[in-house]
Amino acid sequence: MEAQREYSASKITTGLVFENEIGCMMHSYGDISRPLKSSVALVERILRDQMNLLLKKASKLNENQKEKYLTHGHLLVLLRKNKDKLTRLMKYLKVKDDFDFLSKKKHAEMSGVVKGCAHGPRIKACLKFLRKVEGKSFRLDTILSDDDPVNFERTKRRYFMANYMDDEEYTDFVAKQSATFNAKKYDNKFKRWLLAEKATKFVPSNLAIQIINYLARETVAEIVEAALLLKRDRHPDWYHNLNDIYKPHSENSTTEETSEDSVFKPKIPPCQPNDPITPENINNALGRLYMKSRKNGQVEWKRTKPRLLCV
């Protein structure tokens, strides 16, 4: 099945803004170490459309409020019905707040400071809004203690990938996992790119930009994982023999799974070393995402408009 809109990477390989960042992210989520440039270009084009759609949806919530800025609140409204994705965002913001807090402390002041530190400005702002919308019963500790099956799945995939790397490859792989669209604190490159096509008349606040930066990375993850799932379904033998491939030094390599193996085997396996994600994989994977819908509890295949992948 084809998506309602099929992208052509051949026309957009020039003028890439985030070629390095997206390439690093794609590898960290399961693609080969050097993703195809045509695939990176395609992901950036899809990301552009997804971010435009995100801005438009958030702006609709702001139209009746007559505010000049697009705030974190408008984005949280879009996320609040998806508890798993909201949980992942709040954990990300908590880490950002804790990092800023700890970076201002001297080594001698570190003892016990993490456990006792109060909520940082990002979490405080989000909590204030969510409690206003959801009620005062909204508790951050409940959200932060929730399991994150998606993050656990990504960790398992990275573990399997790391088993196949030498020290140099692993060091490079770890560095790529911290790739971001907004690496420098005072660099407005991401904001300029985000607003280049004027998808909104409102000015995103600083916190909104940080949240959108996170959602952009999650969008890349969704695209890569959808393509990997497609490849898994097309190559079941590769998935079945995953333990043999990623444990080349095992003396008794076997395709039979132990209970321990099955726990740590990713449901969505990474790419084979010589089989990168292609533009065709991405387009076909988007076709699945855009056509799958649920009605009365039953899954149906129905052509729909492109939807936001990050909320």
> Measured on CA atoms in the order 25, 7, 233, 274, is the torsion positive or negative?
negative
Task: Over range 172-177, report the average pLDDT.
Answer: 96
pLDDT tens string 49-78: 999 999 999 999 888 777 889 999 999 999
Output the pTM of the full model.
0.83
Residue 241 has pLDDT above 60, yes or no: no
pLDDT tens string 101-126: 888 766 555 555 555 556 899 999 99
CA count, 13 A, side-chain hemisphere, 90: 29
